[in-house]
Amino acid sequence: MTDTTPDAAFRDPDDLRRRAGIRGDPDRDQHFLVDDRVLDRIPTYLPEDADTTHLLEIGGGTGALTDRLLAVADAVTVIERDPDLAAFLREEFASEVDSDRLTVLEGDALSVDLPAFSACVSNLPYGISSEIAFRLLPEGRPLVLMFQREFGERMAAEPGTDNYGRLSVSAQHYAAVEVVEIVPPDAFDPAPAVESAVVRLTPRAPDYAVDDEAFFFDFVKALFTQRRKTIRNGIRNTAHISGLSEPEAVVEAVEAEDPDLLRKRAGSLAPETFARLAEIADEHGR
């Protein structure tokens, strides 16, 4: 894990919120992380060899995590959609902004142009955490992200487990996924209704080839809509989702190669098996 500066005197999260004159609003997906111990640990979950020259933070809030990222990075860019919070961050960290160590981008993280960051560490707004994660993952950079616990555990789930699904296959296509810490609701103010999870996503190339990534993801999505059905029936029943024009031809091609596979269910298949199925489907069914 990456070490933070040993004796850094960080800003107190409660003092930051008082100076900002803001309270969290669950209706706006605002839950401020206020537990100093959790805040101190989050940057240490970056991989040991992570490049920290330019860290990206999405949803800077009042800057409690920003403060800690500045202790380990050469430069930090924060994307904050709330105009008042963006203005507060520029004022609170004026010296870091003036020295070009901190850039505050005001806007929606789903639509602004992302900087050329070296790694991303963020306490994500839960309502858009999935969309943001899958905007970041193709960038191929180390990520340490906070999600709702259920979402994080589904990302990291192994084949054959209850949590394994489309999300697991899609995330693990881009990265090795690990839940590194469970965070209780009382670490936030206001406390959310659920536990949270800090997830480390270390980029790596998959050990299989995918020629058409969009079709691969659509095909995985289709089969998981029928996760209780056999692969045979899943292929036949979901052509409207996967985009197959000849699902029966795909079934016949899989039967010729591995008939046992057709009797299995989506939740038991490893990502590389989905990749092989998608390859067959692309060749015989589109």
* Secondary structure in 3-state letters for 13-31: HHHHHHHHCCCCCHHHCCC
Q: Which pLDDT value is given to residue 31? A: 84
C-alpha to C-alpha distance for 144 and 37, rounded to whole angstroms: 16
Q: Which pLDDT value is given to residue 24? A: 72
User: For residue 155, is pLDDT > 90?
Assistant: yes
User: For residue 234, is pLDDT > 50?
Assistant: yes
Q: Which CATH number fits domain 13-203: 3.40.50.1980, 3.30.420.40, 3.50.50.60, 3.40.50.150?
A: 3.40.50.150
C-alpha to C-alpha distance for 115 and 110, rounded to whole angstroms: 13
User: For residue 74, is pLDDT > 80?
Assistant: yes
What residues form the annotated binding site? Answer: 31, 33, 59, 80, 108, 123
- The boundaries of every CATH 1.10.8.100 domain in the chain are 213-285
State how beta strands 175-183 and 196-203 pair: antiparallel
Whether the pTM exceeds 0.85: the reply is: yes
C-alpha to C-alpha distance for 168 and 269, rounded to whole angstroms: 11
C-alpha to C-alpha distance for 14 and 35, rounded to whole angstroms: 9
C-alpha to C-alpha distance for 13 and 46, rounded to whole angstroms: 22
Residue with tokens 């706006």: 28
Condensed to tens digits (0 to 9), the pLDDT of residues 5-20 reads 444 589 999 999 999 9
Q: Which pLDDT value is given to residue 7? A: 46
C-alpha to C-alpha distance for 212 and 203, rounded to whole angstroms: 19
Count of other CB atoms within 10 angstroms of residue 240: 9
Contact yes or no for 144/118 (Cβ under 8 A): no
C-alpha to C-alpha distance for 282 and 87, rounded to whole angstroms: 50
Q: What are the counts of helices (DSSP H) followed by strands (DSSP E) for the chain?
A: 13, 9
Residue with tokens 């056999």: 230
What residues form the annotated binding site for S-adenosyl-L-methionine? Answer: 31, 33, 59, 80, 108, 123
Condensed to tens digits (0 to 9), the pLDDT of residues 22-62 reads 877 776 767 899 999 999 999 999 999 999 999 999 999 99
Gyration radius (Cα) of the chain, Å: 21
Average of per-residue pLDDT across 215-222: 97
Q: Which CATH number fits domain 213-285: 1.10.8.100, 3.30.465.10, 1.10.760.10, 3.40.50.300?
A: 1.10.8.100
Count of other CB atoms within 10 angstroms of residue 60: 28
- Rounded to the nearest 5°, which phi and psi values hold at 181? -160, 140
Contact yes or no for 167/154 (Cβ under 8 A): yes
Q: Which pLDDT value is given to residue 8? A: 58
- The boundaries of every CATH 3.40.50.150 domain in the chain are 13-203
